[in-house]
Amino acid sequence: MRDHARQWLPHGLAMTGVEPEFITTELNLPAATPGMDDLVPLAEQSLAGAELAIDQRWIPDLVR
């Protein structure tokens, strides 16, 4: 699946001074795709890593 927002979003936000940071996952469809059952653990690991990266950006610097 292609992420179309990655190309235009930085340009759209440039005038506000905001620079987006993209956190992505890999293997988004193994649970729904026949024959990819063996990749489900890797997909779950990728999602957990992305969620952790998001959570780390919300932790105030004083708590780190």
9-49 pLDDT, tens per residue?
888 888 898 888 888 888 888 989 999 999 999 999 999 99
The structure's pTM equals 0.70
| Residue-range domain boundaries for the chain | 24-64
Judge contact between 35 and 60, C-beta under 8 A: no
pLDDT at 59 over 60: yes
CA distances from 22 to 39, 41, 61 (A): 23, 23, 20
- pLDDT surpasses 80 at 64: no
- How far is Cα of residue 3 from the mean position of the Cα atoms in its chain? 11
Predicted confidence at residue 50, as pLDDT, reads 94
pLDDT grade for 63, boundaries at 50, 70 and 90? low
